Structure 1
Amino acid sequence: MISIRPIAPHEWAQYRDLRLKALQDAPCAFGSTWEAEARKTDESWRAQIASAASGDMDLALFAFNKAQACGLVWCKLSATESGVAHIYQMWVHPAARGLGAGNALLTQALAWAKSHGARCVRLGVTHADSPAMRLYRAHGFRPVGDMEPLREGSELMAQAMELVWGEPVAG
């Protein structure tokens, strides 16, 4: 049984470990790298989760399969564009794929964004016929703009996608 809940400040080490595992498991799915994230200090990880938990601009979520954390997603309201939110760090452990964790994480992140005034949610995804791309399309995300390199020096291409509720958002 998959359950979703916000990451609590005291769970920063579990978040760090899961984030690093995601970067190792799917290095082609993220703009960041394991090498870059592994250099962060414990205090940096702790502060990142504490900030998300104490503010109203971020939502960091864990997916659990029974008592085991098996996925995560980060949703952030834009500080510069009213009504816009961004999805980052979406990942599900290979052992939990196909159980609905990705759908549950995305559904809860989108509900939070909408309840916090977002009319548009944006994300980037590695361009491929992948489960991630199919999940985003199933939730109504559509490609926007040109594809760009996943990160500097990468041959992989990333596609920006957007989900808009109501009136289109400029920008």
Structure 2
Amino acid sequence: MTDTGGAQIRRLELADAALYRDIRLEALQKNPEAFGSTFERESAQPLSWFEAVIDRADIFGAFLDGKLTGIAGFSAQEGSKQAHKGRLWAMYIRDTARGSGLGKLLVAAVLDHARGRVEMVQLTVVSENEAARRLYSAMGFVEYGYEKRALKQGGRYYDEILMVKFLDEGTAGPAQAMP
């Protein structure tokens, strides 16, 4: 667990499933355009479903005054040819804590966890989410692709920016030519 300026960052445990469910459903309700899943789908799931998510993935929580205020997930790709890649997903900070630096702490926790497990961390972010794009850029992620109409919510399409951070700076990045 990391304690920084009153904020505590740690991996969620099965005992946190109800807290995770609450913040995840809030995220899906308040920012439906930012996630591949929907509030309707996940709100219908029992608590055991959220426990299973926590059990199979590495989900980090940011706690302020004992309240779960932010989340970010990490998962490594499966299969020998993609095991060098990880993914940052389901990032969300409650409105009351946005702009407080909590997002940077969560991303840093995911990156620290990823080091030694994978060589790169990828993510997607809705192109209109300027605050998230600035955060990820500040944390060393670079854009490498653009997916038009990646998500469709309420009859409207949302484009996504594909971003990557190479954890080993010696590894060939997208700007370097391949032999």
TM-score range, shorter chain: 0.7 to 0.9
Q: Which position in structure 2 is the counterpart of 1:20?
A: 25
- Offset of 1:36 from its aligned partner? 1.9
Q: Contact 1:31–1:150 (CA<8 Å) still a contact in 2? A: no
SS of 1:47's partner is: helix
- Offset of 1:66 from its aligned partner? 1.8
- Offset of 1:159 from its aligned partner? 1.1
Measured at CA, do residues 28 and 65 of structure 1 come closer, stay the same or move farther in structure 2, by a change above 3 Å? same
SS of 2:172's partner is: coil
Q: Does 1:157 find its partner at 2:156?
A: no
SS of 1:115's partner is: coil
Q: Does 1:48 find its partner at 2:49?
A: no
Q: Does 1:168 find its partner at 2:172?
A: yes
Give the Cα separation in 1 of the matches to 2:25 and 2:107. 20
- Which structure is larger by alpha-carbon Rg, 1 or 2? 2
TM-score between both structures, scaled by the size of structure 2: 0.84
Q: Which position in structure 1 is the counterpart of 2:137?
A: 137
RMSD in angstroms over aligned alpha carbons? Answer: 1.8
Q: Give the one of 12, 26, 41 matched to 1:7.
A: 12
Q: Which position in structure 2 is the counterpart of 1:128?
A: 128
TM-score between both structures, scaled by the size of structure 1: 0.87
Q: Contact 2:150–2:159 (CA<8 Å) still a contact in 1? A: yes
Bigger relative contact order (CA 8 A; separation at least 6): 1
How big is each residue's C-alpha offset from its partner over 1:93-147, in whole Å with a ceiling of 9 and x where there is no partner?
000112111000000101111132x111100000026110000011111111232
One-letter amino acid of the structure 1 residue matched with residue 7 of structure 2: I
Q: Does 1:88 find its partner at 2:92?
A: no
What are the equivalent positions in structure 2 for 1:34-45 lying under 5 Å apart? 34-45=39-50
SS of 1:98's partner is: coil
Q: Which structure 1 residue ranges, 5 or more long, are not aligned?
A: 53-58
Q: Does 1:74 find its partner at 2:73?
A: yes
Q: Which position in structure 1 is the counterpart of 2:107?
A: 106
Q: Contact 1:2–1:99 (CA<8 Å) still a contact in 2? A: no
Give the Cα separation in 2 of the matches to 1:154 and 1:168. 37
One-letter amino acid of the structure 2 residue matched with residue 44 of structure 1: W
User: Identity rate of aligned residues, in percent?
Assistant: 29
Q: Contact 2:14–2:55 (CA<8 Å) still a contact in 1? A: yes
Q: Contact 2:33–2:151 (CA<8 Å) still a contact in 1? A: no
**In terms of mean alpha carbon deviation, does 148-157 or 8-17 score higher?**
148-157
Q: Which structure 2 residue ranges, 5 or more long, are not aligned?
A: 1-5, 175-179
